[in-house]
Amino acid sequence: MATTAPELGTNGSANGIDLRRRELGAFLRSRRERIQPEQVGVRGGRRRRTPGLRREEVAQLAGVGVTWYTWLEQGRDINPSAQVLDAISRTLQFDTHEHSHLFTLAGVPTATIAQQCLEQQCPTAQALIDQLEPFPAAVLNDRLDLLAFNRTFASFFDGELETIPVEERNCLWLAFTNRSWRRTIVDWDETVGNMVAEYRGAMAEHLDDPDWKTLVDRLHRVAPEFTEFWERHDVQLVESRMKRARHPTAGLLRLMYTHLWLGQRLGTRITAFTPADEPSRRKLEALHESLAQ
């Protein structure tokens, strides 16, 4: 189904990106200045021109270069990884809200926060999807962050899924940037087109949420293919349907995927993949037995 959605920009606003970088620098400076050296095991000394920690002290404690951290505070065009942001967050003793704000300003997905909310509000989610073995199942939110998954689901990605940082576990992001993820997708145009259309449709309710806009901006920068899909302005609701997937050992599978909503307020759902034919069922059962060994 194709229809017109609100225009959200093709490559993001350069002024908006610059503004976010300046805000990131100001945010880091304000938090650096509130931390007393003694709080992080640094001797204060007598000659300190500015309150709080120095830039070189933050860089050393976080394990990053002084020049690089200085550029980050100056709003330069650099792309910090989730691991580096986590290290800076720990050094500056951020709480959950500050951690999320840091990732938003840096343009990095914040699935960690969503995962923590899931664990607090639906602690049985992991147990539920584990009980769905031998069928693959995962927990997603409406932004397509991958919050939890069972062993069969993880096996589609050559053991790589567990090593991907939580902040990068977004299905849309992985589809366009991760080779293992892409290899599982058989009908690329249809499958990815549906994902982009679902994301765009859901984003209409989150136009003021910087996390949603940041993900779109990042995909425009690194994946020209995404821009081609995005400019179609297709939107659609989340629906259950059949898809073909390629498992690295089980081979081609035909799967029906069904969404089981955990609650409207959570915005999360379990997506379960059941075999669409008998050969696929036998392959999944054999896969489950091999994983259990």
Same domain, 147 and 27: no
Query: Which structural domain range is residue 245 located in?
Result: 113-292
Is 225 inside a domain boundary?
yes
Which CATH number characterizes residue 45's domain? 1.10.260.40
Residue 2 lies in a domain: no
Is 102 in the same domain as 25? yes
Same domain, 153 and 187: yes
Q: Indicate which CATH number applies to the domain containing 214.
A: 3.30.450.180
**121 and 94 in one domain?**
no
Q: Round the average pLDDT of the chain to a whole number and report it.
A: 85
Residues 47 and 120 in one domain: no
Distances (CA, A) of 99 to 12, 20, 86, 103: 23, 15, 8, 6
- Among 56, 81, 108, the domain-final residue is 108
Give the model's pLDDT for residue 2: 39
pLDDT at position 191 over 50? yes
Check residues 41 and 128 and name the one with the higher pLDDT: 128
Cα dihedral 210→216→217→219 (10° resolution): 140
Residue 12 has a pLDDT of 44
Torsion angle, alpha carbons of 119, 79, 89, 215, to 10:
-30
Check residues 112 and 282 and name the one with the higher pLDDT.
282
Kindly list the strands in the beta sheet with 268-275, ordered across the sheet, starting from the edge strand earlier in the chain.
Answer: 146-149, 137-141, 268-275, 251-263, 241-247
Q: If pLDDT is split at 50, 70 and 90, which confidence band does 128 have? A: very high
Q: Render pLDDT for 76-110 as a digit per residue (tens, 0 to 9).
A: 888 887 778 888 988 998 876 788 788 878 877 66
pLDDT at 49 over 80: no
Residue 28 has pLDDT above 80, yes or no: yes
Give the confidence band of 212 by pLDDT, cuts at 50, 70, 90: confident
Q: How many structural domains is the chain composed of?
A: 2
Last residue of a domain, one of 87, 108, 129: 108
54-68, 82-96, 191-205, 231-245: the lowest-pLDDT one: 82-96
Q: What average pLDDT does the segment 43-60 reach?
A: 79
